[in-house]
Amino acid sequence: MPAGVGEAGRRTLIRGGHILSQDSAIGDFTGDVLTEGSRILQLAPQIDAPDAAVIDATGRIVMPGFVDTHHHQFETSLRSYLPNGIMFADPTRPGEPTYLDDILGIFSKLYRPEDVYIAQLFGGLSQLDAGVTTVHDVSQIHHSPAHSDAVIAGMQAVGRRGVFGYFEGYGPDLAYPGDARRLRDTYFASDDQLLTMLMGGEVYLPGVDPLDLWRLAQDLDLMIGLHVVGSLGMRETMDALIPHYTDKHLFIHMTGMSDAAWARAQEVGAHVSLAVPIEMQMRHGMPPIQKAIDMGMAPSLSVDVECTMTADFFTQMRGLMTVQRMMANQTALEQGPEAAPALMSVREAITFATINGAAGLKLDHKTGSLTPGKEADIILLDADALNVAPLNNAAGAVVTLMERSNVESVLVAGQIKKWKGAIVGHDIAALRNQIVASRDYLFETADVTVPLFD
């Protein structure tokens, strides 16, 4: 691994890669990327930088890291526990665990700060391994100030860009939402750092007026995030709140909402985060992909919950594209091609996964594209690998062929976080032991047997 990469004043030349810049003014080409310290200096077919450390990107696709706008990272310890589950109880599925009753209603309430920390760290490193360089962590685990501090400590230990989502918690030591001011002042006084903060502003919390949460966020100059799910009966509530939508709102899912709510969200510039595989799997409602496109909005992608679905972005992009094309193709077959919306392209899927997410989190001045002046959040994808070669279309290979094993190297703010297939600076075996121990504690305390074979 080249020494000193990412250090202040240190130049690094990523040479000879197939560049997908995600910047329309720069375009795509085979060539070089030059960085200095944490920032991108130049992109060109050939760059002369004799003083730079060199990363050979021959046979690699070089592109911005993926941006995940909604991820419940504390649930890393519960991976695959709910593979067949949906959000809420269904009388035709007696005895089946559900997300609301079991994940949030039982397991989430048992987390100690140490369980929060290892879930954040292990889950964050796993996503970094898969090329996700930015995350918005929706941590509904703020049972005490110590829990909140553990979330932030875990995110800091990963060393990637992130947005700390301060959402609800449970129990006698609950300090939400008032602890938001301490957290903002202690950890997020500056926006010029890897981690920033967002205020949870859910509409379903008992005894809490969402407008109080939204006003607190505005007072602290924070974005406001909330789940918007039609199948949970939120349509009327969201309609009543229409006058209060702002450009700092991040609406997660946005399933089943009225035309008036969509029109207002579009008018004020609110952002929509889609979790397409989870929305289909867990009965949120039809993913509103086409609605957002038709409204001229630029939605992003998010993984949601690993208790039910993987957190890699190759799955997200394929889910997005195949669902949109399925609906458009069916319309073409039933009503004729003229009546059908345009078919999504692989390029559009990558846009959802990168620059759209950065813009939705108000981070597009820092990340989401390979643009001079932005920070060097860069991934190198192996296009010579057995599952990709021969490379015939770079964007097509990323969306339709690749998976996490193709993520060879990852840089965040110019620093190498994964190199030649291995995470840098962490003892993964030791961390695995810690998260297994945490899992064992959670299941034993919940008096639930780990359902290894159902």
> Is 279 a residue whose pLDDT tops 90?
yes
The verdict on 80 and 57 lying in the same domain is no
Residue 72 lies in a domain: yes
Whether residues 161 and 205 fall in one domain: yes
Same structural domain, 195 and 274: yes
Task: Tell me, yes or no, whether 453 lies in a domain.
Answer: no
pLDDT for the residue 317: 98
Q: What is the DSSP letter of 324?
A: H
DSSP class of residue 139 equals E
In whole angstroms, what is the distance from residue 352 CA to residue 398 CA?
A: 13
User: What's the pLDDT at 51?
Assistant: 94
Output the pLDDT for position 338: 97
Residue with tokens 């005490």: 144
Per DSSP, the residues of 384-450 read: SSTTTPSPS-HHHHHHHT--GGGEEEEEETTEEEEETTEESS--HHHHHHHHHHHHHHHHHHHT---
- For residue 394, is it within any domain? yes
Note whether 140 and 204 are same-domain residues.
yes
Which pLDDT score, from 0 to 100, does residue 60 have? 98
- Give percent above pLDDT 90 in the chain: 97
Q: Which of residues 344, 360, 376 is at a domain's end?
A: 360
**What would the mean pLDDT of 13-26 be, rounded to a whole number?**
98
Domain with residue 213: its CATH number is 3.20.20.140
Whether residues 207 and 354 fall in one domain = yes
User: Is pLDDT above 90 for 383?
Assistant: yes
Contact between 238 and 203 (Cβ < 8 Å): yes
Both 61 and 71 in a single domain? Answer: no
What's the mean pLDDT in 322-348?
98
Query: Are 166 and 191 members of one domain?
Result: yes
Whether 35 and 177 map to the same domain: the answer is: no
Q: Same structural domain for residues 233 and 375?
A: no
Residue 18 within any structural domain of the chain: yes
Residue 199: phi and psi, rounded to 5, are -100, 125
Residue 454 in this model has a pLDDT that exceeds 90: no
User: Is the pLDDT confidence value at 5 over 90?
Assistant: no
pLDDT surpassing 90 at residue 8: no
Measured between alpha carbons, how far is 372 from 383 in angstroms, rounded to an integer? 25
**Among 115, 128, 192, which residue's Cα sits nearest to residue 442?**
115
- Label residue 377 by pLDDT band (50, 70, 90): very high
226 lies in the same domain as 328: yes
Average pLDDT rounded to a whole number, residues 216-244: 97
Task: Tell me, yes or no, whether 30 and 144 share the same domain.
Answer: no
Q: Which residue, of 336, 360, 384, is where some domain finishes?
A: 360
Mean pLDDT of the chain: 97
Beta strand pairing status for 60-64 and 378-382? antiparallel
- DSSP bridge pairs for 200: 225
436 occurs within a structural domain: no
The answer to the question of residue 438 being in a domain is no
- Listed residue (350, 430, 420, 438) closest to 60, CA to CA: 420
The domain spanning residue 19 has which CATH number? Answer: 2.30.40.10
Please give the pLDDT value at position 1. 83
Domain boundary among 360, 383, 406: 360
Q: Which residues of 262-278 are buried (b: 16+ CB within 10 A; e: fewer)?
A: bebbbeeebbbbbbbbb
- Specify the pLDDT at position 359: 98
Q: Residue 30: what are its φ and ψ, rounded to 5°?
A: -90, 125
The predicted-structure confidence for 34-85, as pLDDT tens digits, reads as follows: 999 999 999 999 999 999 999 999 999 999 999 999 999 999 999 999 999 9
Please state the pTM of the whole predicted model: 0.97
Q: Are 60 and 70 part of one and the same domain?
A: no
Q: Is the pLDDT of residue 345 over 90?
A: yes
- Mean per-residue pLDDT, 131-152: 97
Q: Where in the sequence is the domain holding 18, given as residue range(s)?
A: 11-65+368-419
Q: Work out how many domains the chain is built from and give that number.
A: 2
Q: Is the pLDDT of residue 295 over 90?
A: yes
Residue 2: is its pLDDT beyond 90? no
Residue 241 lies in a domain: yes
Residue located via tokens 């991976």: 79
Query: pLDDT (tens digit, 9 = 90+) per residue, 209-218?
Result: 999 999 999 9
pLDDT digits (tens, 9 = 90+) for 89-126: 999 999 899 999 999 999 999 999 999 999 999 999 99
E strands of 214-328, at which residues? Answer: 223-229, 249-255, 271-274, 300-301
Q: How far apart are CA 126 and CA 310, in angstroms?
A: 10
pLDDT digit string (tens) for 118-137?
A: 999 999 999 999 999 999 99
Inside any domain, residue 140 = yes
